[in-house]
Copies of this chain bind each other. A is one copy, B any other.
Amino acid sequence: MSANTSLLDLYLDATIIANPVERSTVIQNIVNVLKEYSLDKKYEIKMSDGVLLLLTVENGSLSAVLRTHLNGLITLTLEEGSSSSFLTNIGVEELRKRLNKAVQKRVDRIPILKRGLEVPNYFSSSDERIFEYDFDKLVFQADSPFQNVKILHSPTFGNTLFLDDLQNLAESDLSYTHGLMKYGELSYKDQEILILGGGDGGLLHELLKEKPKFITMVDIDQLVVDACREHLRGACFDSLDKLKGDNYEVIIGDCVKKMDEYMKEGKMFDFVFSDLTDIPIATEPEGELWKFVKKIVTMALQVLKPRGRFLSHATGIGCVDALQEYEKMLRKLPTKVEFRSHSAFVKSFLEKWVFYEIWEI
């Protein structure tokens, strides 16, 4: 890393910010604390909601932006070119305590952000919370005709697959696959199964252990399958080594087209799994996410035998609105369905993920 950013939040009262005299006193107190770090005011701008100050040390190597907000918050953002001097968590905690003393109000410190990391490590949860991973190596990266495919290595999660920078599956994520399968609650023995997506091979590997009659997996992206066969073996094991076995076949193709064919042929399954990425990949211009998601579940229900089950992952438990929207969509399907949701903590997602079991009534 080659630069650090540190954020501090000072929780003052709105009345202090609204009153120019009080505001200027409190800002002077903060400026005085920053002066102890050789930060001097260089520029000030009046804003609709108060003021914005730029402070730097003499040679500019450490800078700070201080700004007020109408609700009483004062944000302070420090930046430094080198990681070797002031901007460490210990150093900023000391500053936080001094600021706390100076303003006599709550002051929060957000842990140091590292800029210019060699291996990308900042990603978000489904509900847009930031996580800093411990990826130490870019194992694989390439662009397929459909998406950017990346595999990063982490000491905590093993190799981890990203599609268009969205977290997909890590070698540690058996709980994801078991969550999707409702492991232990449903029996796959002698069943006919269709997997939509699932190119990482994790679900295929786990389902094969259950002695199904036949699994057909349809993933659009050859590159994902090839990359996972080589670099995600802790999830797919040997299940992608051959694309066709006694009781399974991996088809590289568009699952929508494939389901169309199955409908025409009258081919039906006991279980259909949706293991597509959150942002779905369609070869036709399908429009937005919801349209596509609805299309998938509608088609899947049509290739299900009576009493068959559609199993799908949804999103993180924090995405309350999206989950409600999904259930609303299920209730409005052309076919009348019942559904049950369940959740599992997925290590590399660092969140609880929600899954659905859906069936026609």
Given contacts A116-B73, A128-B89, A318-B134, contact A79 B61 (CB under 8 A): no
Residues of B within 8 A of A2 (CB): 69, 71, 73
Task: Give bound CA distance, A73 to B81, whole Å.
Answer: 9
A320 to chain B, nearest CB (A): 9
Verify if A20 is at the interface (C-beta below 8 Å from B).
no
Task: Give bound CA distance, A80 to B132, whole Å.
Answer: 23
A88 to chain B, nearest CB (A): 8
Verify if A52 is at the interface (C-beta below 8 Å from B).
yes
Flag if A69 contacts B81 (CB, 8 Å): yes
Task: Give bound CA distance, A186 to B172, whole Å.
Answer: 25
Flag if B47 contacts A65 (CB, 8 Å): no
Flag if A116 contacts B65 (CB, 8 Å): no
Flag if A52 contacts B45 (CB, 8 Å): no
Verify if A226 is at the interface (C-beta below 8 Å from B).
no
Interface SS of chain A: helix, strand, loop or mixed?
Answer: strand
List the B residue with the shortest CB-CB distance to A68.
B81
Verify if A115 is at the interface (C-beta below 8 Å from B).
yes
Flag if B46 contacts A60 (CB, 8 Å): yes
Interface centre among A52, A127, A130, A347 (most CB of B within 10 A): A130
A158 to chain B, nearest CB (A): 11
Given contacts A120-B108, A155-B317, A345-B156, contact A67 B63 (CB under 8 A): yes
Interface centre among A115, A123, A352 (most CB of B within 10 A): A115
Task: Give bound CA distance, A133 to B350, whole Å.
Answer: 9
Flag if A131 contacts B52 (CB, 8 Å): no
Q: Which listed residue (B48, B129, B156) contacts A59, Cβ 8 A?
A: B48
Chain A to chain B: the 3 pairs with minimum beta-carbon distance, closest first: A47-B60, A129-B132, A73-B116
Q: Which listed residue (B43, B61, B116, B172) contacts A345, Cβ 8 A?
A: B172
Flag if A113 contacts B7 (CB, 8 Å): yes
Given contacts A3-B75, A124-B89, contact A52 B63 (CB under 8 A): yes
Flag if B133 contacts A132 (CB, 8 Å): no
Residues of B within 8 A of A63 (CB): 52, 65, 67
Sample of 18 further A-B pairs with CB below 8 A, known A3-B75, A54-B65, A134-B351: A2-B73, A7-B115, A43-B54, A46-B60, A47-B61, A65-B65, A67-B81, A69-B81, A71-B116, A89-B124, A111-B122, A111-B124, A111-B128, A111-B129, A112-B128, A113-B113, A129-B133, A156-B318
